Amino acid sequence: MKLAYYPGCTLHGTAREYDASTKAVCKAAGIELTEIDDWNCCGALEAIFDKELSMGLSARNNFKAQKTGLDLVIPCSICSHNLSRADKAMKTDSGFRAKIEKALGEKYTGVNIKHLLDVVVNDLGTETLAAKFTKSLNGIKAVPYYGCLLIRPSEVCKFDNPENPTSLDDIIKSTGAECLPFTQKTKCCGGNLLMSKQDYAFILTKKLFDEAKSSGANCIVVACPMCHMLLDGQQEMIEKAHNTVIDMPVLYFTQLIGLAMGLSEKELELDKNMVSPAKVIDSIGKGVKKAEVKIEAKPAIEAEAAQ
Amino acid sequence: MIKSNDLDPNFKYEISKEPGGENIKKCFNCTGCTVGCPVTEIDKTYNPRRILRKAILGMRKEVLSDESLWLCASCYICYERCPQDVKITEVIGAIRAIAQREAKAGKIKLDNPKPLFDHLFIDSVKKNGKWYEAGVSGTFMLMTKGIGGALGYAPMGFELWKKGKLSILPHTIKGKDEIKRICEEVEK
């Protein structure tokens, strides 16, 4: 599988371990990534006060991706949201399209944009992925955290259920790690409140930690650099603000997959996480094997629909 | 008490003309947005339904200068659940755009540091093509928390730098002129 790759600013900065583990895992899984040429910032959520500017900044990257003739994969939920929205606007809003085509002097035909999690779960598939695994991560007890823009709004992100997503759950289970129920999985980490009301951001993130800890998890698995920045990067600040000890490692799903593939900690840049994941890595292989009888609890509505 | 003479009935049309604000008039105030809001969950005075209701009634100055406007976390839960497809997250963005213009013109005062951060961020993107994390965060901390407050973040910045996660100098792109042309076109 060949894909164009847009890392986004954070993956070349605070989320460098997401970039490194994405590249390492894709290489091992046979996905060839070509980074698009001279890409720019998508405007993140900071351009929300100017919708056209936000989409215009993103659209330039779509033009760059279009030149590769490949589908575009993005690991960051915010970038993926912005570039997808820009693609949609370029196709449906002729006024906006005319402005951007004029600014860049090119015609836009469109590009197929996907979040990395979508590619791994749906295009590659967990079975194909599991065939590349060299060890079971039995012992890791993880909660999947999806956050916001990975799954919402569903008119932009179509690959999972916006109210009860399961793709990260599927990945965690495929590695042999235990995936614990997490009612906070789609709640907001407060990332975008960090600059407007830091104490609120910390309260929201602390709620995630509280449930993760009470469920007995030894790590949280994420697919967004903004969530990671709050949960991992700000964890020490949250501990100070709330006078508590959290000590909860937060892994990118690519780091988890990489561990199951037997890739080295260095390749996955596990030393770059702010909260040391040493405890999680030590737990591998030390899980208590449960009885084989498993009852898959399905929501009643889903079960009815299946009939 | 709300006095009808103080209301600006054009406010909802003003918002609906702003990109993102088009659907505000569809709101029938069902409170679905507020029920699912993570910010309301921790602060009962934050109420997206109330922001929309006040905007539709025409309480222009109150909506624009209320700090509530800056407390939306852009989590898109209300956007997803709204039965009227109001696209609330984007409506809030549209109202923020109006508030920023009014503040720039000196007509209102904004009591939250978020618009300052947004502008520093976007200015750095316009200048470099990528966001300049160290420069923007440093400037923002200095402007909002003073030297003492900013120094409080220095240990974290140093940790990030040690791990190779924070660049002292900005990353730049070759196509800065293209960014400039895009900005000129959308700002026309």
Q: What is the DSSP string of A161-230?
A: -SSS--HHHHHHHHTT-EE---TTTTS---GGGTTT-HHHHHHHHHHHHHHHHHTT-SEEEES-HHHHII
Out of B73, B160, B186, the one facing A192 most closely (by C-beta) is B73
Closest C-alpha among B79, B35, B177, B142 to residue A40: B177
Mean pLDDT for chain A overall: 94
Distance from CA of B140 to the nearest CA of A (A): 9
**Which residue does chain A place closest to B152, by CA atoms?**
A237
- Which own/partner contact pairs does A118-124 have at CB distance under 8 Å and 24+ positions apart? A118/A159, A118/A160, A118/A167, A119/A1, A119/A3, A119/A31, A119/A73, A120/A25, A120/A29, A120/A171, A120/A253, A120/A257, A121/A159, A121/A167, A121/A170, A121/A171, A122/A159, A122/A167, A123/A1, A124/A1, A124/A29, A124/A31
Question: Are residues A259 and A284 in contact, defined by beta-carbon separation less than 8 angstroms?
Answer: yes
**Apex CA B74: angle with CA B71 and CA B76, to 5°?**
130
Whether residues A14 and B100 touch (CB distance < 8 A) is answered with no
Q: How far apart are CA A134 and CA B113, in angstroms?
A: 49
For residue A287, pLDDT over 90 is answered with: no
Q: H or E element: which one contains A276?
A: none
CA A269 to chain CA centroid, Å, is 16
Out of A49, A192, A271, the one facing B96 most closely (by C-beta) is A49
Cis peptide bond prior to A75, omega within 30° of 0: no
In the block, which residue shows the tokens 């961020």? B121
**Which residue does chain A place closest to B114, by CA atoms?**
A196
- Confidence grade of residue B152 (pLDDT, cut at 50, 70, 90): confident
Q: Which of residues 37-96 of B touch A (CB under 8 A)?
A: 38-39, 42-43, 70-71, 73-77, 79-80, 89-90, 92-94, 96
Tokens of A233: 């990067």
For residue A170, pLDDT over 70 is answered with: yes
Residue B159 forms contact with A (CB below 8 Å): yes
- Confidence grade of residue B149 (pLDDT, cut at 50, 70, 90): confident
Query: Which 3 state secondary structure label does DSSP give A32?
Result: strand
For residue A291, pLDDT over 60 is answered with: no
For residue A303, pLDDT over 80 is answered with: no
Query: Which 3 state secondary structure label does DSSP give A5?
Result: strand
**Which residue does chain A place closest to B184, by CA atoms?**
A103
Q: What number of CA atoms fall less than 13 Å from residue B118's CA on the CB side?
A: 21
For residue B181, pLDDT over 80 is answered with: yes
Distance from CA of A48 to the nearest CA of B (A): 5
**Which residue does chain A place closest to B79, by CA atoms?**
A153
Q: Is the torsion defined by CA of B35, B36, B41, B47 positive or negative?
A: negative
β-partners of residue A252 are: A222
- Residue B101 or residue A301, greater confidence: B101
Whether residues B96 and A196 touch (CB distance < 8 A) is answered with no
Mean pLDDT of A136-144: 97
Closest C-alpha among A263, A268, A231 to residue A146: A231
CA A71 to chain CA centroid, Å, is 18
Q: Looking at beta carbons, which residues of chain A come within 8 Å of B96?
A: 48-49
pLDDT digits (tens, 9 = 90+) for B40-82: 999 999 999 999 999 999 999 999 999 999 999 999 999 999 9
CA A50 to chain CA centroid, Å, is 25
Mean pLDDT for chain B overall: 95
- Confidence grade of residue A50 (pLDDT, cut at 50, 70, 90): confident
Angle of helix A94-104 relative to helix B176-186, nearest 10 degrees, comes to: 150
**Which residue does chain A place closest to B21, by CA atoms?**
A51
Pairing of strands A32-35, A113-115: unpaired
Tokens of A224: 């967004």
**pLDDT-above-70 percentage for chain B:** 100
pLDDT digits (tens, 9 = 90+) for A8-27: 999 999 999 999 999 999 99
Residue B183 forms contact with A (CB below 8 Å): yes
- Confidence grade of residue A302 (pLDDT, cut at 50, 70, 90): low
Say whether pTM exceeds 0.95.
no
- Confidence grade of residue A153 (pLDDT, cut at 50, 70, 90): very high
**Which residue does chain A place closest to B70, by CA atoms?**
A196
pLDDT digits (tens, 9 = 90+) for A238-260: 999 999 999 999 999 999 999 99
Closest C-alpha among B8, B141, B142, B34 to residue B86: B34
Give chain A's radius of gyration (CA, Å): 20
pLDDT digits (tens, 9 = 90+) for A182-228: 999 999 999 999 999 999 999 999 999 999 999 999 999 999 999 99
Whether residues A103 and B185 touch (CB distance < 8 A) is answered with yes
Mean pLDDT of B7-29: 97
- Confidence grade of residue A71 (pLDDT, cut at 50, 70, 90): very high
SS3 letters for chain B?
A: CCCHHHCCCCHHHHHHCCCCCCCHHHCCCCCHHHHHCHHHHHCCCCCHHHHHHHHHHCCHHHHHHCHHHHCCCCCCHHHHHCCCCCCHHHHHHHHHHHHHHHHHCCCCCCCCCHHHHHHHHHHHHHHHCCCCHHHHHHHHHHHHHHHHHHHHCHHHHHHHHHCCCCCCCCCCCCCHHHHHHHHHHHCC
Out of B38, B79, B117, the one facing A153 most closely (by C-beta) is B79
Mean pLDDT of A25-34: 97
Out of A14, A46, A103, the one facing B160 most closely (by C-beta) is A14
Mean pLDDT of A64-88: 97
Mean pLDDT of A149-174: 96
Out of A48, A57, A187, the one facing B93 most closely (by C-beta) is A48
Mean pLDDT of A267-289: 93
- Confidence grade of residue A293 (pLDDT, cut at 50, 70, 90): low
Which pLDDT score, from 0 to 100, does residue A152 have? Answer: 96
Whether residues A51 and B90 touch (CB distance < 8 A) is answered with yes
